[in-house]
Amino acid sequence: MLRNTLNQALLHTSAKPFLWLLCLTPLASLVGQLLLNTLGPNPAEALIRSTGDWALRALCVALAVTPLRLFSGLTGLARMRRLLGLFAFFYALLHAVSYAGLDMEWKWASIWGDVLQRPFVLAGLLAMVVLLLLALTSPKAMLKAMGAPRWQRLHRTVYVAAWLAVLHFYWMRLGKNNLTEVFYYGFILFLLISTRIYFYWRKNSPIKLFNSNK
């Protein structure tokens, strides 16, 4: 009964607008703090850090959709996955723009030198490139143009982007000797990938196939 109620709520026409509002709340909060000058002594650093944090959080939530759907049977969750993934890209883009504009003042030679000299910047750039490719190919028209198998192979690289984002976060925090949050994100990502592997194994298990032929 509860499952049916939740599924109906997820399939309701107001579910996606509500998700839009929910996902835009962090941005509204940051803009409000910026206007009220309450971002702290270094607003630029606060914006860069906060947008990066929300990009990683949104990415983890997007990756959690399928495991949650498989565990709970809430099929309506599937329609939220694409939007959550696009918001992960959106906050990652804000993070990159904040870094390039506020920290590096759009000096492309300095940015390129930063990429070559600091591994955490390179990892962040690679994650951003993967997320950009996934965002550009997310429309249904691209799925039809590419074909389902090729499209699915490309979109599985979201896990590569996630690990690169965690690596980016790890290298950034390593210099500050503050790795607690990094381990949290790494553990969450490990659980999500393990869950996907488990359901894939259960679906394709030889034991299951043997029993189904009885």
Query: pLDDT tens across 6-57, in order?
Result: 999 999 999 999 999 999 999 999 999 999 999 999 999 999 999 999 999 9
Indicate whether 205 pLDDT > 80.
Answer: no
**Where do the domains of the chain lie?**
2-212
- Express each pLDDT in 169-184 by its tens digit: 999 999 777 899 999 9
Residue 99 in tokens: 């870094």
Q: Which of 93, 97, 68, 49 is nearest to 7 (CA)?
A: 68
Mean pLDDT score across all residues of the chain = 92
With beta carbons less than 8 A apart as the criterion, state whether 130 and 160 touch: yes
pLDDT of residue 210: 43
Amino acid at position 126, single letter = L
Alpha helices in the chain (DSSP H): 2-11, 15-35, 43-72, 78-98, 108-117, 119-136, 140-146, 148-155, 158-174, 180-204, 206-212
Q: Count Cβ atoms below 10 Å from residue 181 Cβ, excluding itself.
A: 13
- Indicate the pTM of the whole model: 0.92
Please name the residue that has the structure tokens 């070559």. 116
pLDDT value at position 214?
38
Q: Which residues, 6 or more positions from 19, have their beta carbon under 8 angstroms from its beta carbon?
A: 80, 83, 84
Closest CA to 126 of 91, 171, 163, 88: 163
